[in-house]
Structure 1
Amino acid sequence: MAAHRPVERTLTLILALIALAVVLAFAMARPNGWPEAVAAVPAAGLLIVFGAISRDDALAETQRLLPVVGFLAAVLVLAHLCDDEGLFHAAGTLMARASRGDPRRLLTRVFVIGASTTAVLSLDATVVLLTPVVLATARTLSIPPRPHAYASAHLANTASLLFPVSNLTNLLAFTVAGLSFVEFSAVMAAPWVAAIAVEFVLLRLLFRRELSHPVAEVAPPPPEIPVLVLSVLGLTLAGFAVTSMIGISPAWAALAGAVVLGVRSLAQRRSTVGGIVRAVNLPFLAFVLCLGVVVDAVIHNGLGDVMRGVLPAGDSLSALLGYAVVAAVLANLVNNLPAVLLLLPLVAGAGPAAVLAVLIGVNVGPNLTYVGSLSNLLWRNVVHRECLPAKVTEFSRVGLVTVPLTLVVGVLTLWVSLRIFL
C-alpha cells in the first residue's frame, strides 16, 4: 500500500499541474472574451473531486484569500469611480500642458502620473484607465506613442512595489509578511523609487530616437482638477495606515473611500449602479480564489518540496537576490499570481525580508514577457485596440534591457531599507 503512495502522489501532482496550465492558458487567451473564472472554477472543483486537495484545505485557502479579495474589490471600485469623476481625463490634460509638445517631457509626466496611479489605485488602473489617456495625449501632440505606451506597461508592474494596495501580489505578501501598512510602505519606498528611476533612464536610452523628434508646442486649456477625488484618495491612504495600526482590515478604509465617491458620483449621475457592480468584477475575484485552490493543490502534492530545494536560505544580500531571481523566473514561466501563491508559503518562515524580495521578483520580473502578469495581457489588448502593434518579441526585447538591472537595484535598495526600518 505504501509503495503506491509515491505513484499516487505523482499522478495527483501531474493532474494539478495540468489544471494549473489549463487555467493559466485560458486566462491569457480568454476566448470569446469569457472571464478567467470559466476555467478556474471547474478546475478547482475537479481537483477536490479527484482528491488532489481536500475540501478542508480548499476551504482554508479560500478563507485565507477572502480578505485579500475583498480589499481588491473595494480598490477596483475606487479606481472606477475616480475615472467617472474625471481624474484620468484631468491627468491627460495636465500631461499635455506640462510636456509642451516635447516627447521627453511627456515621458517624464507619464512616469510621475503613472507611478502615482499604480501605487494608489493599483496596476489595473494604470493599464486599463491611464494607458488610453497616455496614447490619446501623445497622438493629440503628434508625439510617437510607443515610448509612452511601454512606460505605462512597465510602470504597471514596477511601480506597484510601494503600498500593499498597489498590486494583488502585494496584498498577498502583506498578509504573510507580518508588517503594518506603514512598515511595509516605509521599507518598500526606496526600492520603489530606485526601480522607477532605473526604468526611466533605460527607457529613455532605448527610445532615444523617438524621443528626440521636435514637435510644435501645444497648449491645451488648463484641466479641471478634481480636488474632492484627490482628497478622498489621500484620506483613504491615511485610512489604510490607521486601520492597519489598530488591527482592522484596510479593506474597510478602501470601502469607505468608495462609498464617499460612489454616493457623490451617483448623485451627480456620473456613475451608474450597473457600472459600479461591473467594476467589482466578480468573475475575476472568483478566479483569484479558485486559482489559490489550484496552486495549493500543486504545492501539497510535491512541487512545494521541489521549490524548497531551489530557494536560498536566510536574509543575506545574496539570499535576497536569489529569492527575487527565482520569483522572477517563475513569474515568467507560470504568471506572477500563481508564482506568488506558490512561493509565499515557502518563504514566510524566513521572515519579511524574504517575502519582500519575492515581491520584487514577481512585480519587476513580469516586464520580461507577456506571460509574466495578467496586466501585461490587459495592456496588450488596450494598445492593440488603439492600433499600436506590440509584438511578443518587441515586448521581451524591451524587458531584456530593463528587467535585470531594475531587479538587482530593487533588491540592493531593499537590503539597505530593511536595515534602516526593521
Structure 2
Amino acid sequence: MDWAGASAAALLVFAATVVGVLWRPLGVHEAWVAVAGAVAMAVAGSVDWLRVASIVHETAPVLVFLAGVLVLASVADRAGVFAWAANWTARMAGSSVRRLFVALYVLGAVTTVFFSLDTTAVVLAPLVVRLLRRSRVDPLPFVYLSVHVANVTSLLLPVSNLTNLLVQARFRLPFWEFARVMALPALLAGAADFGMLYVLFRGRLEGAVDTQDLQLQARALGRSPFLRWSLGIVVATIAGFGVAGWLGAPLWPVAVAGGAASALLALARREVLPGFFVRSISWGVIPFVVGLFVVMDGFRATEAGRALTAAAFLPGAAASARPAAGGAWSQEAGMGMAGGLSSAAGDAVSLGRLAAVTAVGSNLINNIPMTLLGTGALAVPPGGYGPPDRLAPYALLLGVNVGPLLTVVGSLATVLTLALFQQRGINVGGWEYLKTGLLVMPPTLAAAYLGLLASTWWL
C-alpha cells in the first residue's frame, strides 16, 4: 500500500474508532471498538506489531494501577462505603435542598480526587436518585452536579482521572509536584463551576428532602464489620499513594496491594464469590486504553495526522511540516516541530491556547483520544522540561478535564453518568446540556487557567 493509501486507511480507521467509541453501534462496548480499531491499524500497516507490543509495555504501569483501583473501588462499593458516606452527607445537610446540593458536590469532589471520576459517575448518580426519590425535589440540578463535579475536580491528583495518569506517565511528572501545581487550578475551577451551577439552578433548589430514614441507614451500615474493614483498607491505600508519591516510588504497587487486600477481605468473609471479580468490575477499560493508544499512534504517523496535529497545536507548523523522501517523516522535521512546541508552550498565551484547543477537541473526539493526541504533539525536550515549559502538560489537562462540560460526549464519565440517570427516567438532551455548558465551561476553564499561571510560583 502506497503512502497516500496508508494515510487514508489510517484516517478512516481513526474516524470510525472515535465514532464507534462515542455512539457504540448495536450496543458494542467501547473497549471492543478500540481493540477492533487497533487491529485494523496493524493490518493496514500503519502500526507494526512490534510497536503494539511496545505500547502495551509502555502503558503497563498505568493499566496495573487501574486494575488495582478497580478492585478496591468495587469491593468498597459492595461493602457500602459510598452509600454510608452519602447517607451521612445527606443527614448532615438536613432537609435543606440547597445544603444538600453543597454537601453532594463536596462528596463528589472527595470521591473523584481519590477514586477517579469514573467511580463518581457510577456511584453518585444512583445515590442521588435514591436520596431524592421520596422527595418532591427537581432532580435536574443534581444531574448537572453529578456530571460536573466528576470532570472538574479530577484535576487535583494523578489518580483522579485516566487522562492525568496518561499525562503523568508520558512526561514523568512527580506525584506531589502534580498535586502542588494543580491544587490552585482545581480549587478555582471547582469554585467557579459550583458557583455557576448554584446561580443557574438556585430557583430549582426548593423544597425539602425526606431525611426520616437516613440516620437509621447510616447507623446500620456503620455497624457492618465488612464496611469498617473495607473503609480501613481504602484509607490505608490512599495514604500509601501519598507516601509513594513523596518517595518518588511508582503508584501501581500500592494500588495492587489495596486491591488484593480488599479482594481477600471480601472472599474471606464470604461477602462475594470469585465470579464477582469477573462480572462486577469494568475490566474493559484496560483493552480500551491499549486499543486507543494504538489507533492514535497509527493516526499520528500519517501525513494527515501530522498535519492536523500541527495545525491544532502549533499555528504555521502544518505548512512547514512535510514528509521526507519515501513518505516517512524525517527525524529533523519532528524534532523541529517538537522544539517549536516546547518553546511556544512557555508563554501564557500558548498555554491558554493549548488549554482551549484541547477543551474544544475533547468535545469533538472525546477527551481520552484528545489526551493521546496532545501528548504525542507535546514532545519532551532533551534534558526534560523546565519552568515554564513544564506547565504545558498541565495546560493540556485543563482542557481535557474541564472541556467535557460542554457536550454530552466530551468524556466517558459524562456519557456514563447521563446514561445512568436516563435509565432511572431522568433525561438531559444534548442541546439542553450544550446551552448550560456554554455558560459554565468557559469561566470554569478560565479560572483553572489563571490558577495554572499562578502555579508558576510553585515551580
Give the TM interval when normalised to the shorter protein: over 0.9
Query: Does the aligned pair in 2 maintain the 1:163–1:184 contact within 8 Å?
Result: yes
Residues 1:363 and 2:357 aligned together: no
Q: Which residue of 1 aligns with 2:174?
A: 180
Query: Does the aligned pair in 2 maintain the 1:176–1:348 contact within 8 Å?
Result: no
Q: Which residue of 2 aligns with 1:234?
A: 235
Q: Which residue of 2 aligns with 1:378?
A: 416
Counting only pairs closer than 5 Å after superposition, residues 19-418 of structure 1 correspond to structure 2 as: 19-211=13-205, 213-215=206-208, 218-219=211-212, 220-221=214-215, 223-224=218-219, 225=222, 226-302=227-303, 303-312=305-314, 313-349=344-380, 351=385, 352-417=390-455
Alpha-carbon offset, residue 421 of structure 1: 2.1
User: Could you tell me the percent identity over the aligned residues?
Assistant: 35
Alpha-carbon offset, residue 206 of structure 1: 1.0
Alpha-carbon offset, residue 24 of structure 1: 2.3
Query: Does the aligned pair in 2 maintain the 1:40–1:287 contact within 8 Å?
Result: yes
Query: Does the aligned pair in 2 maintain the 1:16–1:52 contact within 8 Å?
Result: yes
User: What is the rounded CA distance, in whole Å, between the counterparts of 1:107 and 1:136 in structure 2?
Assistant: 14
Alpha-carbon offset, residue 280 of structure 1: 4.3
Alpha-carbon offset, residue 359 of structure 1: 0.6
Query: Does the aligned pair in 2 maintain the 1:66–1:289 contact within 8 Å?
Result: no
Alpha-carbon offset, residue 169 of structure 1: 0.4
Q: Which residue of 2 aligns with 1:420?
A: 457
Secondary structure of 2:215 counterpart: coil
Alpha-carbon offset, residue 200 of structure 1: 0.7
Query: Does the aligned pair in 2 maintain the 1:317–1:412 contact within 8 Å?
Result: no
Secondary structure of 1:371 counterpart: coil
- How well do the aligned residues superpose, as a CA RMSD in angstroms? 2.0
Amino acid at match of 1:340: T
Paired residues in the alignment total: 414
Secondary structure of 2:136 counterpart: coil
Query: Does the aligned pair in 2 maintain the 1:78–1:121 contact within 8 Å?
Result: no
User: What is the rounded CA distance, in whole Å, between the counterparts of 1:266 and 1:52 in structure 2?
Assistant: 45
User: What is the rounded CA distance, in whole Å, between the counterparts of 1:94 and 1:149 in structure 2?
Assistant: 20
- TM-score normalized by the length of structure 1: 0.92
Alpha-carbon offset, residue 122 of structure 1: 0.8
User: What is the rounded CA distance, in whole Å, between the counterparts of 1:216 and 1:247 in structure 2?
Assistant: 46
Structure 1 residues 334-390: Cα deviation after superposition (integer angstroms, max 9, x where no partner)? 111110001112214264310011011000001111221111111121011110011
Structure 1 residues 47-67: Cα deviation after superposition (integer angstroms, max 9, x where no partner)? 212211222222222221222
Where in structure 1 are there 5+ consecutive unaligned residues?
Answer: none
Alpha-carbon offset, residue 40 of structure 1: 2.2
- TM-score normalized by the length of structure 2: 0.85
Q: Which moved more, 1:21-30 or 1:78-87?
A: 21-30
Amino acid at match of 1:215: A
Amino acid at match of 1:272: L
Query: Does the aligned pair in 1 maintain the 2:126–2:420 contact within 8 Å?
Result: yes
User: What is the rounded CA distance, in whole Å, between the counterparts of 2:377 and 2:403 in structure 1?
Assistant: 19
Q: Which moved more, 1:224-233 or 1:171-180?
A: 224-233
Secondary structure of 2:207 counterpart: coil
User: What is the rounded CA distance, in whole Å, between the counterparts of 2:352 and 2:250 in structure 1?
Assistant: 31
Q: Which has the larger radius of gyration?
A: 2
User: What is the rounded CA distance, in whole Å, between the counterparts of 2:207 and 2:31 in structure 1?
Assistant: 47
Structure 1 residues 299-340: Cα deviation after superposition (integer angstroms, max 9, x where no partner)? 111323432343251322212111101111111111111100
Amino acid at match of 1:30: R
User: What is the rounded CA distance, in whole Å, between the counterparts of 1:367 and 1:186 in structure 2?
Assistant: 24
Alpha-carbon offset, residue 279 of structure 1: 4.4
CA 1:280–1:304: 2 relative to 1, 3 Å: farther
Structure 1 residues 175-229: Cα deviation after superposition (integer angstroms, max 9, x where no partner)? 1233211111121111111111111100011111111x23266343151444444
Alpha-carbon offset, residue 270 of structure 1: 2.8
